[in-house]
Structure 1
Amino acid sequence: MNPLNHVAIIMDGNGRWGLKHRNSRNEGHKAGLHTVEKIIKETIRQKIKYLTLYAFSTENWKRPKIEINYLFKLLENFLSNKLEDLHKKNIKLNIIGVKNFSKKLNKLLYLSEKKTSKNEILQINLALNYGSKFEIVNALKKMNQNNDTINEKNFKKYLQTKDIPDPEILIRTGNTKRLSNFLLWQLAYAEIFFEKKLWPDFNEKDYIKIIKKFKSIKRNFGKI
């Protein structure tokens, strides 16, 4: 049975779900938060230590400004209302990506990380304004500035996930089969599961099914 420490998820399909069920992309993003809460609970129940959620990519800035503003307001409200609950549940919040948001959101993200920094039951890595290509180029620049020897071990020290084990599983909902500039280095040996369901429709049973399938897979890592 394969050990499972880290699950990464591309939460795709919120906008499409919102248009289909509520005639509003924003309503889909709102509905997607309920799925996030369900998956967090199940991740803890499964005793998985790391959960990385792709919340906003560097490419998402191309979306309409009204949708971007709604997404960040939704995040602000979620953190303001749920931070204490996350802390009580011994959940650590870690942000990967470039924090160049509003002063209010930047402050809230900083306080969320600080307040939960010593929690141990689960670490949630929230990928915000994150792009893997930028992360890789930035890591190489820092290596060069420090005159560090270029090898895998040293390179990983300059990634935003430097103290986090690589994901064993990547889940992408929304019936789209691509990585979308997400954890390109870290996902080198992840088992990838593309789900047809849109993110708000994804549930605990779907998640458990993937976990069970992963644990039964023979993982060779290049060996026979």
Structure 2
Amino acid sequence: MVDMYTILVVDDTRHVADVFVTMLKEGGYCPLVAHSGQECLDLLATTMPDLLLLDVMMTPMDGWTTLEKIKEDPATLDLPVLMLTSKLLTPAQAEQYSVLIEDYVLKPITNFELYDTIEHVLRRRQAILSDVERARRCGIDGEVISEYARLAKSIEVNRRFLTILENTYKPDKPPVPVSDNILQALKNLEGHLKTQEARHRQIKEEIKKASREPVPKPRYR
């Protein structure tokens, strides 16, 4: 039995949105629904869900534009977002948006695959919040803590992107043509991931070291 998380479904195809709402209800979640990017933004002005399922292909405002507006607003900046799509993201999209989303869901998806993805994202989010709180207690700089939180999420997302993209755009007999731009985007994503992982390890060591150091006692005159 899952906790009663509130999940906002945003899809301009009403029967698809209805399917996700039904799946979420059957899984013990509390679903909300919006049928456009603007309807989503209007709803978020008064209601804050635990997670957002956001369709990529919408009109007139597509999912990426909606996502950017959500992340531009300090009130919704930290809202976890899962993108809904019926096709794989391109390397360029993965490189551009991975830092803004928790993951993405390929349609169609089974009930249990959807539940597993949601629960994994929410557990990961809670684990990151616990690490952040521990780092604050250790006196780690606030900007460094924010960077650590961003990296902890985006590294996992980028790893998944890279694995899927490498399997999709194989140089030998690929299912889709591989252009030089795609190959370069894959190299960029791989290099970016390595840089993120190195920085994440560095910050993690700083937090570990700080947690072992005794907190100085206040001096009284």
Which of structures 1 and 2 has the bigger CA Rg?
Answer: 2
Q: Shared topology, TM-score over 0.5?
A: no
Q: Higher relative contact order by CA 8 Å / sep ≥ 6: 1 or 2? A: 1
- When the two structures are superposed, what TM-score results if normalisation uses the length of structure 2? 0.33
Larger helix proportion of the pair: 2
Larger strand proportion of the pair: 1
- When the two structures are superposed, what TM-score results if normalisation uses the length of structure 1? 0.32
